Structure formats: C-alpha cells, structure tokens
Structure 1
C-alpha cells in the first residue's frame, strides 16, 4: 500500500530586507508539500493504523529528501515544522494521523540532527486554503528567534478527497530578533530554571 501522489509543490522564500533593515545574510524559508488521495475520504474508518504505517515512512522520506536538497543539506536547517490539511470529505483525524507518527517525522528529525519536537498544524480546508507551517528551533524549544510561520497555498488542493502533507524549514531565525527567549522570562518571573513549572 503506497500513497497516490497527485503532485508535489515546493516553496522558497529568500528575505533580503526585513522590517526596513537589510539582513546580515539572506534569510531563507522552505516548504515542500505532497498532495495525496485520502484513502479514508467520505467514510468513517475505525482503524487508521495500517495506512498510517504504510504511508508515514514513504511520505517522511520523500518530503525530507526534497526539503534537505532544497536547503543544501540538513545541517543548513535551524528551524523546522510540519502541517497537514485534509479536504472537505475527510476528518481532521486523517491529517493528524499522517503527520503525527514517528514513522513520518523521524525522517526529518534525523536528517537535520534535531532533538526538539516538530511544531505543527492540522486542519480541514478546501482548495487554496492557506498552508501554515509553524517552525521552531530544531534543538531548543525556547529560542523565540526561531518561532516562525511559513504560509503558502496550492490553488487546486486539497480537493475534497485529498490531503496535503507538508514540511517547512528555515536557515535561521528572524534576522533582527530582539524579544529575548523564554528562559529570560522565566528568570525575570523568579521561576526555578531547573523546574520551570514551579512558581
């Protein structure tokens, strides 16, 4: 069992000036998305696991290979994320199931040498729905400079019986980041840095 892929869409954004100030080095964001037929569309299926186990590794390897090629290698990627959009004849559970499996995400994590979890969105929408991929630092979930969102759309996808599965990446954080990080906030609020949840 393999996913039926109708198309693969790539997105690249290179920012030279951000907020009226030139970036010291170009800031580049990437995304790649696969538009696939939703095998569960139009019906309720209790056990999603067989398809998730079959599709997850194939989609994870395919999209990871494409996005690391686009960026010049996994070592060039500092921030990463994922997204799924299910068409109108599907459940949000379908988009969620295809991206929230280690069989999918671990391909990307391993390729970029990450320890953080992949930030994500999973929604239902019609063709041309904005695909929003939240990003975070691949190794430091509290590094706010790398809290980013890539947004693009595919004019004819997802169709009602399709799912769009996407990965996003950035070569760095916002060029002129200056809001600090969550660790300074915790320190300022008097939290125990070894146990941030404690007050």
Structure 2
C-alpha cells in the first residue's frame, strides 16, 4: 500500500528557562507530523496489516525529517501519537503506530529499546493532542516523563490521519523527583 502524504509539519521547541531558572543546555523537543489520506474511509476493514506494513516507509521518512530538525543533537526521549479525522476509526492510527513504524526511529537515533508512550484519538480539525514522552532507554527515568501539546491547523480533515512522533534531547528542566537518573543508565555512556 502506498500512503498518500498530504501535508507535513515540523515543530522545534527550544526551552531555556523553567521556574525562572535558566538551563545550562536548552531542552529541544521536536514534533514531526504527517497528514495522510485515510484509505479506509466509509468502510470497515478487518485486516489492517497493509497499513502496518506501509508504516515502515512512513517511519523512515519521518525519522529523517526529525534528524534534520535535531541538527545533530542527541536524543534522550520520545513519544508518538495519532489523530484520526471524524470519518475514520481510532484503530487506523494505531495500525500506523506499531513497532514496524517505530523501528526506523530507533535505528536513526540509536539505543532506544524502551517502550514508546503513545496517544491516539478520533477528533475534528484543530483538536489538541497531548503526546506523552519518556526516556528512550528506560521508562523508569522519571525526569524524562514529559510530553508535547500539539494542535494541527485545519487537520486532520474527516478523511485524514495525522501521525505524530516527538523527540527530546533531555529530561524536564529542573527535574528533581528522584528515581533512576538518565546519566546512570549503561546506554547513556
């Protein structure tokens, strides 16, 4: 199956200050959003494996877009999400966000064996979605529990699916709730 990409967005958020305290290194978060034509509008399809298989190429394209936005900065966290237009099913986004889709991101950024948090929903154009994020190497690194709040202008239309992948270069600025530290992971060396 060929996925028809209608629009793409890349958001770069460089956060430098939290609670009045300047970070030594800015926290960069990147969101890559691809709006696709939903091939299953108006009918129930039992076998969604064609979407799953096609998602690998989508993941590769989106990973390359994300790497450009990161401009060589290392990745420590990630998350994924999807918003399905009102004429589709939530399962359409979930089929596009499986491990098949995510593995190209893991390959591109290295390491990244931790579970990838996700959020999907069916919604009208312009709906806000909160994409959860966690450490790419261990979900128990509390400082990296974070997310990105995104709004897709004029999308997704009823016959579209918005697929989202978010990456971060570190944990929350001023994180101080204890627990496992990213620097102490064997994979962070």
TM-score (norm 1): 0.86
Q: Is the 8 A contact 1:24 1:175 kept in 2?
A: no
Once the two structures are TM-superposed, the CA of residue 56 in structure 1 deviates from its matched residue by 0.7
Q: In the aligned structure 1, how far is the partner of 2:16 from the partner of 2:51?
A: 42
Does 1:149 find its partner at 2:147? yes
Secondary structure at 1:52 match in 2: helix
Note the 1:65-80 alignment, pairs <5 A: 65-73=64-72, 76-80=74-78
State the Cα distance separating 1:72 from its structure 2 match: 2.1
SS at structure 1 position matched to 2:63: helix
Aligned to 2:105: 108
User: What is residue 52 of structure 2 aligned with on the other side?
Assistant: 52
**Equivalent position SS for 1:40:** coil
- Secondary structure of the residue aligned to 2:177 is coil
Aligned to 1:21: 21
- CA drift of 1:182 comes to 6.5
Secondary structure at the aligned position of 1:180 is classed as coil
User: 2 CA distance for matches of 1:130 and 1:182?
Assistant: 31
SS in 2 for 1:76: coil
Name the CA distance, whole Å, in 1 between partners of 2:41 and 2:129. 20
Instruction: Give the alignment of 1:1-199 within 5 angstroms.
Output: 1-53=1-53, 55-73=54-72, 76-100=74-98, 102-113=99-110, 114-181=112-179
TM superposition shift of 1:130: 1.2
Which consecutive segments of 4 or more residues in structure 1 shift more than 4 A?
A: none
Unpaired stretches in structure 2, ≥5 consecutive residues: 182-189
SS of aligned partner of 1:179: coil
> 1:36-91 CA deviation, whole Å, 9 max, x = no partner?
000011211111112321x2111100111111111124x61100111111111111
Larger Rg: 1
* Alignment size in residue pairs: 180
Corresponding residue SS for 2:138: coil
Q: Which runs of 5+ in 1 are unaligned?
A: 184-199
Contact 2:51-2:95 within 8 A present in 1 as well: no
Cα distance, 1:152 vs structure 2 = 1.6
Q: Classify the secondary structure of the residue corresponding to 1:36.
A: strand
